[in-house]
């Protein structure tokens, strides 16, 4: 097939949506499909099968803020979109943003089959204006994107049943959805990896992800401060984001300064493998690929019980779960696992066994099947309409 992937947000692989998009693009190419990309990454101009629209300007202050987050936003240039759509068999849109919305309208005009990913939670937006707990606003966002976008696609890709259920219950409709994990790449695997010399005698606790309000890294920093073992804990926060300054100030209270660093995809797997415990403290998480990567590496993984986070479903049992936004609760869980190394080894095996369902090749095959199914169904409907 000739497949167009529409990416309002692409750029560096420093966020879950971009990682999911690039994994899908690479897989489809490996399967022999001709893959086109529609995005706003100006450095990709001139690359074969990449169609680049201008960047969306939100004004000087907002542009600077978006740049700090580490993404670029796309302006929906109709001429570029039409060129990208010409001759394709299927369109897959990553996000319901301006570029995706315009591509959907033009694809529908051309009677092309369209699927769309569901890669955003309402809290991803409302947390930036400190209104993530305003349920009426969160519900309003879901209803808006359903009414103006998802209602019109031929299939919706939900990375988890968790987010499908939230979305469908909020909008009051059963959707034509496919629950398919974004999956974890085969290079993510358990392997022997020695701690760096400076860390060999420390308990290494790792978390990864954007430094953002809904990711709740501040809860983990505070929890380490409450731990009985704080004098021997090396906390590593793998990522980058707008909350870094605040987190660094907060971390000055800890006996051992945390490591703040954005790691490459290869580097972070080494860190995962030598870390002793992985903590995913997010209070809002649609799937949590970084958490899944820890599971696939067979790492003792601790998650919050937030009703807004899918990651609680990855925990082996309640001993790996702490009360959302409660650093003392998290400190108690951390201390338990530090003080029970034999049981930790037992649970690491359980996590490793649970990881089979998240292998990316199987997940991407299902994505390919979803696309082919929608193409076949659209062709059948078009044939009926033509009489």
- Reply yes or no on whether the pLDDT at 210 is more than 80: yes
Domain boundaries, the chain: 2-183+359-385, 197-357
- Reply yes or no on whether the pLDDT at 124 is more than 90: no
> What phi, psi does 202 have (nearest 5°)?
-105, 155
The stretch 236-253 carries a mean pLDDT of 95
The stretch 127-152 carries a mean pLDDT of 89
- Reply yes or no on whether the pLDDT at 133 is more than 80: no
The stretch 178-189 carries a mean pLDDT of 90
Prediction pTM value: 0.85
- Confidence (pLDDT) at 338: 98
- Confidence (pLDDT) at 67: 66
The secondary structure of residue 243, as a DSSP letter, is T
Q: Do 315 and 301 form a contact (C-beta atoms < 8 A)?
A: yes
Burial class (CB in 10 A: 0-12, 13-18, 19+), 111: exposed
The whole-angstrom separation of Cα 362 and Cα 29 is 16
Other beta carbons within 10 Å of 80:
20
The whole-angstrom separation of Cα 101 and Cα 104 is 5
Q: CA dihedral in degrees (268, 180, 121, 165; nearest 10)?
A: -140
Q: Do 167 and 349 form a contact (C-beta atoms < 8 A)?
A: no
User: What is the chain's alpha carbon radius of gyration, rounded to the nearest angstrom?
Assistant: 21
Q: Which residues pair with 309 in a beta bridge?
A: 285
CATH class of 2-183+359-385: alpha beta
Strand 203-208 vs strand 233-238: parallel, antiparallel, or unpaired? parallel
More confident of the two residues 84 and 122: 84
Residue in the block written with tokens 């990711």? 215
- Confidence (pLDDT) at 166: 95
- Confidence (pLDDT) at 107: 98
- Reply yes or no on whether the pLDDT at 226 is more than 90: yes
The whole-angstrom separation of Cα 221 and Cα 237 is 9
- Confidence (pLDDT) at 195: 96
| pLDDT tier at 358, thresholds 50, 70, 90 | confident
Percent of the chain with pLDDT over 70: 95
The whole-angstrom separation of Cα 73 and Cα 11 is 10
- The pLDDT mean for the chain works out to 92
- Confidence (pLDDT) at 65: 62
The stretch 122-144 carries a mean pLDDT of 85
| pLDDT tier at 371, thresholds 50, 70, 90 | very high
Strands (E) located in 53-100 = 90-93
The stretch 20-28 carries a mean pLDDT of 92
| pLDDT tier at 318, thresholds 50, 70, 90 | very high
- Reply yes or no on whether the pLDDT at 70 is more than 80: no
Q: Do 286 and 118 form a contact (C-beta atoms < 8 A)?
A: yes
Please choose, from the candidates 98, 60, 59, the residue with its C-alpha nearest in 3D space to the C-alpha of residue 81. 98
Domains 2-183+359-385 and 197-357 share a fold: yes
The whole-angstrom separation of Cα 205 and Cα 150 is 39
Strand order in the sheet with 34-39: 50-52, 34-39, 2-6, 90-93, 114-117, 155-158, 177-179
Distance of CA 235 to the CA centre of its chain: 22
Fold category of 197-357 in CATH: Rossmann fold (3.40.50)
């Amino acid at each position: 097939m000739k497949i167009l992937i529409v990416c309002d947000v692409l750029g560096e692989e420093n966020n879950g949506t971009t990682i999911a998009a690039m994994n899908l693009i690479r897989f489809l190419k490996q399967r022999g499909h001709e893959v086109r990309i529609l995005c706003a990454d100006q450095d990709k101009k001139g690359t074969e099968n990449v169609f680049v629209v201008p960047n969306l300007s939100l004004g000087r202050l907002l542009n600077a803020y978006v740049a700090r987050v580490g993404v670029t936003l796309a302006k929906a240039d109709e001429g570029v979109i039409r060129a990208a759509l010409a001759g394709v068999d299927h369109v897959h849109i990553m996000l319901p943003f301006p570029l995706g919305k315009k591509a959907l309208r033009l694809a529908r005009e051309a009677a092309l089959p369209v699927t769309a990913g569901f890669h955003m939670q309402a809290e991803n937006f409302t947390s930036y204006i400190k209104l993530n707990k305003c349920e009426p606003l969160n519900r309003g966002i879901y209803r808006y994107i359903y009414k103006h976008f998802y209602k019109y696609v031929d299939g919706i890709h939900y990375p988890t049943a968790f987010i499908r259920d939230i979305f469908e219950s909020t909008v009051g409709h059963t959707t034509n959805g496919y629950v398919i994990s974004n999956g974890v790449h085969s290079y993510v695997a358990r392997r022997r990896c020695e701690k760096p010399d400076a860390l060999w005698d420390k308990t290494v606790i790792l978390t990864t992800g954007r430094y953002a309000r809904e990711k709740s890294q501040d809860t983990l920093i505070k929890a380490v401060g409450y731990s009985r073992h704080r004098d021997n804990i090396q906390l590593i926060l793998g990522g980058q984001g707008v909350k870094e300054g605040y987190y660094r100030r907060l971390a000055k209270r800890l006996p051992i300064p945390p490591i703040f660093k954005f790691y490459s995809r290869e580097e972070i797997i080494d860190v995962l493998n030598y870390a002793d415990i992985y903590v995913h403290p997010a209070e809002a998480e649609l799937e949590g690929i970084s958490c899944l990567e820890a599971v696939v590496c067979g790492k003792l993984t601790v998650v919050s019980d937030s009703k807004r986070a899918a990651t609680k479903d990855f925990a082996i049992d309640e001993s790996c779960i702490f009360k959302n936004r409660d650093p003392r609760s998290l400190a108690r869980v951390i201390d338990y696992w530090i003080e029970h190394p034999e049981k930790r080894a037992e649970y690491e095996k359980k996590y490793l066994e649970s990881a089979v369902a998240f292998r990316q090749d199987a997940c991407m095959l299902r994505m390919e099947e979803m696309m082919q199914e929608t193409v076949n169904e659209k062709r059948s409907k078009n044939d009926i309409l033509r009489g």
